[in-house]
A and B are shown apart, each in its own frame.
Chain A
């Protein structure tokens, strides 16, 4: 996803000289080409996130289109009030890219694990929040932020995520993308678990369970219609996210269901209210929280047993 991010941003920068790339001294080996091609529109402010967000706001105030990169935890938390006051309150077209999913830097400890960024960014007025599930979604979302003028936060995973979409037209910002059709249950995914969800759905199909898979790449504005349709057309919902179970995708879905008076089983997969303990690989942590093909499939089967 990181490659898709920088490739797309470079293309936007070629077309539009208002596009800037700012970093808080992170992104080694990713930004060198952008820096050499657009030295006047690249700025590394040093390890100074408050300054990073304030400078981005200042650039936007004089008409620039800043894209700001840091690791997801620092991008979403270290300068939260700058994001709120300087960017959202002033309604500026600043796009923040949080690099890394929850366990992308698994061995670095919880300082590098974004557990709360969806929740923190969703609650900010005017902020659009994205969690793309494959490189094509990254591309489409970046392009849409450039077409629009609202502030945005995009959490991208690191690298190696498979391409899951075949047609750009299937990706519309603000609308969930239908990845698999089905009527027995619906898996709704925000982020890099999308690949696992699709494999799980294909596996379940062989067992006779037809599962709809939706990519909730846009967490805000949230596609309530797709949730309501899934809740009325299928028997159960399973939300999958690499995030705290508080304030993220599962919470957004639950809120829609309650508001629409829909009584349908909802299983939320994610990280419970804790700092993940232990040290290990990304895969080790994901297994611990059932964020795997088998974990997702098991959650779906359980809902079918209740039907």
Chain B
């Protein structure tokens, strides 16, 4: 069976690079960046028809990181696939540089929308998808939401409309790491029964282990326009994935990785 060793290696590299830059720059939202890496690697490696050469093509596939606070964990993947020079990502957080702690359109190739305030990515992706569908384009539109972000009413406005119109070239991936700013999603604002909510809004719903490539790859790459529905992949993830002492803790939404702890952290990294 294909255990997607290449993807595992790329994800490991991305996490390693992320932790290295984050520790030097005192970056926040470490847990949020680590939980999404496997999803992003899958998307850029296997799903999105987009390369640094085609990233200006009007009919390209487009991805929006709606959980913009995990930008550094996104930049390292964009660098891996050649969209951003590694040097620029390594300059992250320094004065007079290009890459902000939330993605800004135009600041690097591959960034399709400015995000940072939660609940903005999905309506924009929906607009793109409706426009593209009506123009007869075959491109697809993918948005990554955080679970905490699903508290935002703007998302539910878009979820209702996308289901109603059957916007089948739109895919949402939810990085469901079960933590938000003040605690677990269960404590703060429980989303469950989460899949049922999407189903009730007429979406094609899939649930996967968000760190198992054998589940991620088929779930994310199959945009088969099932029953003319938009697709949501609820990826059950682990906040802080890859670093045992960071996993499933709220603290690593806020803590900085100290430079002196980097070596031990990388030793533990899986």
Residues on A lying within 8 angstroms of B by beta carbon are: 20, 40-41, 43, 45-46, 48, 50-51, 53-64, 81-82, 85-86, 89-90
Candidates B114, B128, B158; contact of A51 at CB < 8 Å: B158
Whether A40 pairs with B134 at a CB distance below 8 angstroms is yes
A90 in contact with B114 given A54-B120, A58-B123, A64-B131 (CB within 8 Å): yes
- Closest chain B residue, CB of each to CB of A20: B131
Contacts of A50 in B (CB 8 A): 119, 123, 153-154, 157
Whether B123 pairs with A61 at a CB distance below 8 angstroms is no
In the A-B complex, the 4 residue pairs with the closest CB atoms: A58-B127, A54-B123, A55-B127, A51-B157
A61 in contact with B157 given A40-B134, A85-B114 (CB within 8 Å): no
For the complex, give the distance between the alpha carbons of A46 and B160 in Å.
Answer: 9
- Closest chain A residue, CB of each to CB of B165: A43
Given contact pairs A58-B125, A61-B113, a sample of 11 additional A-B residue pairs in the complex whose CB atoms are under 8 Å apart: A45-B161, A51-B123, A51-B158, A54-B124, A56-B127, A57-B113, A59-B127, A59-B131, A62-B128, A64-B131, A85-B117
Residue interface mask B119-139, A partner, CB < 8 A = 1? 110111111111110100000
Contacts of B123 in A (CB 8 A): 50-51, 53-55, 57-58, 82, 86
For the complex, give the distance between the alpha carbons of A45 and B117 in Å.
Answer: 22
For the complex, give the distance between the alpha carbons of A17 and B185 in Å.
Answer: 45
- Closest chain B residue, CB of each to CB of A22: B127
Residues on B lying within 8 angstroms of A by beta carbon are: 58, 62, 105, 112-114, 116-117, 119-120, 122-132, 134, 153-154, 157-158, 160-161, 164
A247: min CB distance to chain B, Å: 23
Whether B131 pairs with A54 at a CB distance below 8 angstroms is no
B155: min CB distance to chain A, Å: 9
Contacts of A45 in B (CB 8 A): 157, 161
A85 in contact with B130 given A50-B157, A62-B58, A63-B58 (CB within 8 Å): no
Contacts of A41 in B (CB 8 A): 134
For the complex, give the distance between the alpha carbons of A51 and B159 in Å.
Answer: 9
Candidates B117, B128, B153, B160; contact of A59 at CB < 8 Å: B128
For the complex, give the distance between the alpha carbons of A270 and B124 in Å.
Answer: 37
Contacts of B130 in A (CB 8 A): 43, 55, 58-59
Contacts of B127 in A (CB 8 A): 54-62
Candidates A40, A58, A64, A81; contact of B126 at CB < 8 Å: A58
Candidates A20, A61, A81; contact of B124 at CB < 8 Å: A61
- Closest chain B residue, CB of each to CB of A57: B124
For the complex, give the distance between the alpha carbons of A49 and B242 in Å.
Answer: 40
- Closest chain A residue, CB of each to CB of B105: A90
B224: min CB distance to chain A, Å: 23
Contacts of A46 in B (CB 8 A): 157, 160-161, 164
B133: min CB distance to chain A, Å: 10
Whether A89 pairs with B114 at a CB distance below 8 angstroms is yes
Contacts of B126 in A (CB 8 A): 51, 54-55, 58
A116: min CB distance to chain B, Å: 21
Whether A51 pairs with B132 at a CB distance below 8 angstroms is no
A17: min CB distance to chain B, Å: 9
Contacts of B132 in A (CB 8 A): 62
Candidates B105, B131, B154; contact of A82 at CB < 8 Å: B154
A48 in contact with B160 given A58-B128, A62-B132, A90-B105 (CB within 8 Å): yes
Most buried by B among A43, A46, A51, A81: A51
For the complex, give the distance between the alpha carbons of A57 and B131 in Å.
Answer: 11
